A and B are shown apart, each in its own frame.
Chain A
Amino acid sequence: MTTERTGDRRVEDLLQRLAPRVLGALVRRYGQFDACEDAVAEALLAGVLRWPEEGVPDNPQGWLFTVASRRLIDQIRSESARRERERRLMAATPAAEMLAPGPEEQADSGTDDTLALLFLCCHPVLTAPSQIALTLRAVGGLTTAEIARAFLVPEATMAQRISRAKQRIRDAGATFAMPEPEDRPERLKAVLHVLYLIFNEGYGTSAGSSLQRLDLTAEAIRLTRQLRTVAPLDGEVQGLLALMLLTDARRATRTDAQGNLVPLAEQDRSRWDAALVSEGVDLITRALTSTRLGPYQVQAAIAAVHDEAESAEKTDWPQILALYETLERLTPNPVVTLNRAVALAEVSGPQAGLDLLAALERESAALADNHMLHAVRGHLLEAVGERDAAREAYRTAARRTRSLPEQRYLDARARRLQP
């Protein structure tokens, strides 16, 4: 990598980091989330174009804020019917702030603004895809084109989705303000869910196609780190960050060179990212001992047990089983029970796992049709030596999945059991 490229990359990282603070500060002063968002996007573009040439200004956040405010004012001026709004806008702006602040005048850290912005982007009036798109754009500082590529939809579609989301926020009269203290846990849960979905979208991408797609996994981790700096005491924020790090640590080994899936037990553990594992383990250990327990923390703890096992055989399955039981109590859901069946089979033998699957299938019609149930059953039947039934289960699972790599994996398992 040449020095120049490194420089550009540094500018882009800096702009991305500053984007939510500038947007937050702008919305706090002027309201009008949608207009402010456009103005910040233009300011970021100006930064991308000018900073690599002219050098980064002494107070980059102040520079962006000034450029964005001017754009916002220009935009409002150009709408001649809105003279009155312009007058009020000008009146709200202290004259000194129309000048770029000097290097000694550091703007405030903007942490509360970042949090308020996340709450706004994950507002309950929006659907999950809209929350995701808006968060990546407004907090992540990504362009519409980048987000569209990441989700494999046309740019026009994504632009539409983002502009409708902004419209909905305006129609709902949502304001840029911290939610009431009693609403905050619920709203924070929505933010965590959006970050979790962004991570999953990136993690689900197979290695080959990630070349064209933006790295959503890294983006989700970056945003969750940012959330942690503004909500440092929340156990679930720490739990989610730990879960992401501990999962991402295994990324290089989960597919082989041909893009085929490699199950956890067969992955080359020496290639797991030790730095990510140790950061994740530290985080989750501290969270578990000092904050209230929640589902992300339990999932991170499970990932930590896997990551810390020297080999698949040395995995502490009784502990994993206990953690899945805890998770099931916190968030009862058939997929968690399915995972518990896998752990139970490791602790008490495959037949115990198969019995639990049968009970689960009777209880949940949706799960009976789910490919994961049949894939697990295939593995357990194979373990008890029922080769024909195992092959059938793998085939059933392969027909029901929508993921091509997974289908290839399941078909390969079925073929191995051919008489």
Chain B
Amino acid sequence: MKFMLMIYGNQETWSAYPAEEWPKAIAAVDAFNRKFFETGELLGAYGLADAVQAKTVRVRAGAPAVTDGPYLETKEYLASYYLLDCVDEARALEIAAEMPYAAENAVELWPVMNEAAPQL
């Protein structure tokens, strides 16, 4: 079963993070990534760029209009996402609890819909 593990944050949180703490935080996330790549349960880990770099695209009357900034006008935005492949939800929750950011703030876990029909 595939799951998306997501980290949200806001500009204040990231900006307030002391520069000298970053190497430690990055090392912790790297260790998390290595551990679950190794078990085959982490399919991919992606960190997103700063929100000022996001673009929103709308097509109206066949013409695309691009505006700066994310679609959702919220303080919190998606910062990174991880694609998991686990036996069941219980295991995905176990992995989510090991994500270093879960101990700082919170992480979100979503099941991924699949093309498979239900089983009999």
Q: Which residues of A line the B interface, CB within 8 A?
A: 127-129, 152-154, 157-158, 160-161, 164, 200-201, 203-206, 208-209, 247, 254-255, 261, 372, 401-407
Contacts and interface: CB of A to CB of B under 8 A. Distances in A.
B111 interface: yes
A161 B112 CA distance: 21
B81 to A, nearest CB: 16
Interface string B1-27: 110000000000000000000000000
Contact of A404 (B2, B39, B85, B115): B115
A206 B43 contact: no
Interface in B45-60: none
B119 A160 contact: no
Nearest to A405: B117
Given A128-B87, A154-B43, A157-B85, A401 B38 contact: no
Contact of B118 (A127, A129, A406): A406
Interface in B68-120: 85, 87, 111-120
Contacts of A208: 115
Interface string B25-43: 0000000000001111001
B40 A158 contact: yes
Nearest to A129: B87
Given A160-B37, A405-B117, 7 more contacts: A153-B43, A154-B43, A205-B117, A401-B118, A403-B114, A403-B116, A404-B113
Contacts of A403: 113-118
Greatest chain A CB density within 10 A among B112, B113, B117 is at: B117
Contact of B111 (A128, A247, A402): A402
23 contacts: A129-B40, A153-B40, A153-B43, A157-B85, A160-B39, A164-B39, A203-B119, A205-B115, A206-B117, A209-B115, A247-B120, A254-B117, A401-B118, A402-B1, A402-B111, A402-B112, A402-B114, A403-B113, A403-B115, A403-B118, A404-B115, A405-B118, A406-B118
B43 A157 contact: yes
Contact of B117 (A127, A128, A164, A261): A261
Contacts of B116: 201, 204-206, 403, 405
A164 B115 contact: no
B85 A204 contact: no
Interface residues of B, number: 19
A38 B57 CA distance: 50
Contacts of B117: 204-206, 254-255, 261, 403, 405-406
Contacts of A372: 118
A157 B114 CA distance: 19
A164 B35 CA distance: 13
Nearest to B44: A154
A57 to B, nearest CB: 37
Contacts of A204: 116-119
A247 B111 CA distance: 28
A203 B120 contact: yes
Greatest chain A CB density within 10 A among B38, B87, B114 is at: B114
B113 to A, nearest CB: 5
A92 B40 CA distance: 37
The 6 closest A-B pairs by CB, nearest first: A204-B116, A161-B40, A160-B40, A405-B117, A406-B118, A157-B40
Nearest to B85: A153
Nearest to A243: B120
Contacts of B115: 205-206, 208-209, 403-405
Contacts of A247: 120
B113 A407 contact: yes
Nearest to B111: A402
A128 B113 CA distance: 21
Contacts of A407: 113
A401 B115 CA distance: 12
A201 B1 CA distance: 11
B85 A160 contact: no
